[in-house]
Homo-oligomer: A and B are copies of this chain.
Amino acid sequence: MILKSQVEWALHCCAILAGLPEGRYLSTKALAELHGLPKEYLSKALQSLSQASLVETTLGPSGGYRLARAPSEINFLEIVEAVEGKARSFTCTNIRENNPCRPAGYCDSKPCAVARIMWEADEAWRDTLRRVRLSDLVGTLSEEVPADIWRSTFEWVLKRAG
């Protein structure tokens, strides 16, 4: 069970977009260069963010992506689910139905006890991600990334933001 690498990409891209000034857009090309990622494939991750209404886009030169909401109004789970999907990590195939000791046509009143526990863990995972806002990540980064790198990265981005 492993998350796709696009999740990592999307989170880092959102962190960059969070630093964009009002009304500016950043292109796939710039985001791919900044993170050293294949442009065409990164584009798929950004399209997922777009379909989830987490980012807005505009076409043409000076086009690209920007956040659809304030960084404090976007949480990690939304970004993760946008690219990874909302399906639970555990899928119950109801193998208890195959028990030969069951009367034919017997119908369970509750979901399988095993599945309920696995789903509870899944929900704990999602809860943790839901509690972290994109603005929290930006705050942490601004503290931890050395000031000169932070600033020059920002300038690098602004030079390419349409």
Interface residues of A (CB under 8 A from B): 1-5, 7-9, 11-12, 15, 33-37, 76, 84, 87, 89-93, 95-103, 106, 109-110, 113-115, 117-118, 120-122, 124-129, 132, 137, 140-141, 144, 149, 152-153, 156
Chain B residues near A37: list those with CB within 8 A: 95, 98
Known: A95-B9, A95-B36. A152 touches B2 (CB 8 A): no
A153 to B95, CA, bound (A): 14
Nearest-neighbor residue (CB-CB) of A121 within chain B: B128
Known: A103-B149, A117-B132. 19 other contacts (CB 8 A): A1-B1, A2-B87, A2-B89, A3-B90, A7-B118, A8-B95, A8-B114, A9-B95, A11-B114, A11-B118, A33-B100, A34-B99, A35-B96, A100-B156, A101-B152, A118-B129, A121-B126, A121-B128, A121-B129
